[in-house]
């Protein structure tokens, strides 16, 4: 399998963490797509992923799968023992609900802030910007942090008692926030403590360096 991504990107981080959690690193080759040069918006890449976003999973039969949730579903099901996306109908429902909330209320909101209210990826990529909209989404992301703080006051993980795809999505959002120097509010003590624990997880800690051997041989 190939993963087309950008090593330090917050969305690629989600799939990299899933790969590590499922011990799939030996089966994956990483292909770097330069976001700063806009390679993800070029015709060659759009032929792989119409959305022009990273990451993208390329299978041996030539199938391309975009979107972090879809890629994680595929990877988690490979061995017939899903641990990130749920086993029972209830687990699947709760995990997918919380994963979507993490995207809407945190990760995607920060992404809009980045692309609209900061220099983003530069003028060659950021063709249109609406700073007011970007700042509104920044504020939404901060509200999202408060929401997840409330969740994590009640339970150890975002979707309940076990680490899941929903945790990975929140981690992706906080990685993005770190990159933009958008701090988690001091009063969000449960979220801050949870994130500190998550950063010690090998799958999170080693997400960037895990690609170096494959990239060197590509």
pLDDT tens digits along 9-37: 999 999 999 999 999 999 999 999 999 89
Is pTM, for the whole model, over 0.85? Answer: yes
* pLDDT over 50 at 218, yes or no: no
pLDDT of residue 209: 84
pLDDT of residue 211: 63
DSSP 8-state secondary structure symbol assigned to residue 25: G
All residues at 6 or more sequence positions from 91 whose CB lies less than 8 Å from its CB, including other chains: 159, 160
Structure confidence by residue, pLDDT tens digits, 101-141: 999 999 999 999 999 999 999 998 999 999 999 999 999 99
Beta bridge pairs of residue 157: 160
Pairing between strand 56-58 and 29-32?
unpaired
Distance CA 194, CA 201 (A): 11
The average pLDDT across 141-170 equals: 98
User: Under a CB-based contact definition with an 8 Å cutoff, are residues 106 and 143 in contact?
Assistant: no
Tokens read off for 53:
């976003």
Tokens read off for 25:
């690193």
User: Under a CB-based contact definition with an 8 Å cutoff, are residues 41 and 25 in contact?
Assistant: no
User: 3-class DSSP state for residue 30?
Assistant: strand
| Domains and their CATH numbers in the chain | 2-83+204-217 (3.40.30.10), 89-201 (1.20.1050.10)
Q: Which of 138, 113, 111, 115 is nearest to 11 (CA)?
A: 111
> Mean of the per-residue pLDDT values for the chain?
94
């Amino acid at each position: 399998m190939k993963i087309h991504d950008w090593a330090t990107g917050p969305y690629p981080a989600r799939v990299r963490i899933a790969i590590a959690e499922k011990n799939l690193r030996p089966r994956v080759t990483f292909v770097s797509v330069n976001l700063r040069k806009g390679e993800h918006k070029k015709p060659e890449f759009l032929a792989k992923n119409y959305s022009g976003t990273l990451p993208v999973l390329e299978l041996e039969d030539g199938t391309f799968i975009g979107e972090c949730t879809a890629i994680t579903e595929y990877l988690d099901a490979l061995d017939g023992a899903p641990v990130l996306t749920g086993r029972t109908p209830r687990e699947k429902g709760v995990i997918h609900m919380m994963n979507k909330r993490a995207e809407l209320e945190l990760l995607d909101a920060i992404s809009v802030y980045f692309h609209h209210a900061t220099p983003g990826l530069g003028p060659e990529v950021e063709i249109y910007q609406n700073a007011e909209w970007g700042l509104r989404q920044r504020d939404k992301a901060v509200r999202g942090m408060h929401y997840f703080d409330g969740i994590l006051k009640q339970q150890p993980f975002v979707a309940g008692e076990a680490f899941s795809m929903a945790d990975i999505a929140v981690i992706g959002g906080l990685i993005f926030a770190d990159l933009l120097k958008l701090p988690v509010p001091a009063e969000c003590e449960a979220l801050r403590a949870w994130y500190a624990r998550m950063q010690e997880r090998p799958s999170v800690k080693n997400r960037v360096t895990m690609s170096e051997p494959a990239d060197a041989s590509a």
